[in-house]
Amino acid sequence: CKILRCNSEYVAATLHLRGPERGVAFCTALRSYSLCTRRTARTCRGDLAFHSAVHGIEDLMIQNNCSKEGPTAPPRARPPAPDARGFEVLDVCDYERSFLYKHGRRPAFRHCAAFGDPHIRTFHDDFHTCRVEGSWPLLDNEYLFVQATSSPVAKGSNATVTSKLTIIFKNMKECIDQKVYQAELDNVPAAFQDGSVDGGARPGGSSLEIRELIPGRRVEIRAAYIGTTIAVRQAGRQLSFSIRAAEEVAGAFTEEQDLQLCVGGCPRSQRMSRSPRGRGRVAAETARALCREMLPVEDVYFQSCVFDVVTSGDANFTMAARGALEDARLFLPDAEKLHIFQ
């Protein structure tokens, strides 16, 4: 099956298209791409990449009003690879580039966050407030394991906050050694547990890197080899976690790995209402005024902020909700899904 050759020829033909003539050239490239897939149909019948390409071409032709009849372009010559090992080995640790090469399109992404009480925004844009004291997995898949440990926000309270985060980047041949990152309250390090700041000595070690954005308070971990970026913050007396993960990576788990808060949200028995009830440490109207200064849109981030300030009495929790919203603005592929209203 030579579908990868068809994909790479299409990418080479469209990579530099700009300006008013783009539409005509793009349709020509799509017809050429379609012709190439038809020539490989017999040998690629059972190949998922082939079927993905065929459906992708149909969608793109409809979106760009391209006619199936018309001129096709001869394959554009690919520049020689800078290394005898070729593209697939050299770029296997650049997920986005490799995905574009294989599928002829850019990957889709998902966003998940855990902050405050904790409140969980799942990869499917569900939003839960959880009563999850102890350690719970946010993610558990082929590439990543992320565990959050929660403690009561205040003595005698049912509400909990994340006090510890453990993130394991699993060993990946050619790219990285296994790396473990751990953050606790008042200890948000700018390095992995072994003291390193990248993926190690393997050829693609630089495809995993950690950067400190605010000393002791905010770090960002970029894992280019799996198209994933993670943000860890401390605001007040709690930690928060945000991730932008390639859709393929977010879904790379088995039936046994069924408990992941980023995938399924809180178990039903652990879900709480965000409506403050009973005697809080701060009056609800006071909390609303504090949260409105940071979060003018009264969405679930705002509701979560009010809940946390009422429950904890700590005005710093307004920063936790604001930070989660900032991460969502950076990480969400669809800006229209930024705010959730419930």
Residues in the chain: 342
Phi, psi angles (nearest 5°) of residue 143: -110, -30
Signed CA dihedral, 254, 255, 256, 260: sign only: positive
Count of CB atoms within 10 A of residue 275's CB? Answer: 10
What was the pLDDT predicted at 126? 95
| Chain centre to alpha carbon of residue 210 | 16
CATH topology classification for 109-270: Protein Transport Mog1p; Chain A (3.40.1000)
| Chain centre to alpha carbon of residue 287 | 31
Q: What confidence tens digit (pLDDT) does each residue in 183-227 have?
A: 999 999 999 999 999 999 888 999 999 999 999 999 999 999 999
120 SS3 class: strand
What was the pLDDT predicted at 105? 87
Instruction: Sort 189 into a burial class: Cβ within 10 Å, 0-12 / 13-18 / 19+.
Output: middle
- 160-169, strands of its sheet edge to edge: 134-140, 144-152, 160-169, 179-184
How far is the C-alpha of 134 from the C-alpha of 259, rounded, in Å? Answer: 14
What was the pLDDT predicted at 74? 61
What was the pLDDT predicted at 114? 96
Instruction: Sort 285 into a burial class: Cβ within 10 Å, 0-12 / 13-18 / 19+.
Output: exposed
How far is the C-alpha of 124 from the C-alpha of 263, rounded, in Å? Answer: 7
How far is the C-alpha of 14 from the C-alpha of 33, rounded, in Å? Answer: 11
Please say whether the beta carbons of 324 and 331 come within 8 A: no
183 SS3 class: strand
How far is the C-alpha of 100 from the C-alpha of 49, rounded, in Å? Answer: 12
What was the pLDDT predicted at 84? 41
pTM score, whole prediction = 0.74
What was the pLDDT predicted at 210? 97
Domain residue spans in the chain?
2-64, 109-270
| Chain centre to alpha carbon of residue 130 | 21
Residue by residue, pLDDT tens for the chain (342 residues) are: 788 888 878 887 877 776 655 778 888 888 999 999 888 888 887 787 888 888 888 888 888 888 888 888 765 544 444 444 444 444 789 999 999 888 888 899 999 999 998 999 999 999 999 887 789 999 999 999 999 998 887 676 666 789 999 999 999 988 999 999 999 999 999 999 999 999 998 889 999 999 999 999 999 999 999 999 999 999 988 999 999 999 999 999 998 888 999 999 998 988 888 775 555 778 999 999 999 999 999 999 999 999 989 988 889 899 999 999 999 999 998 888 999 998
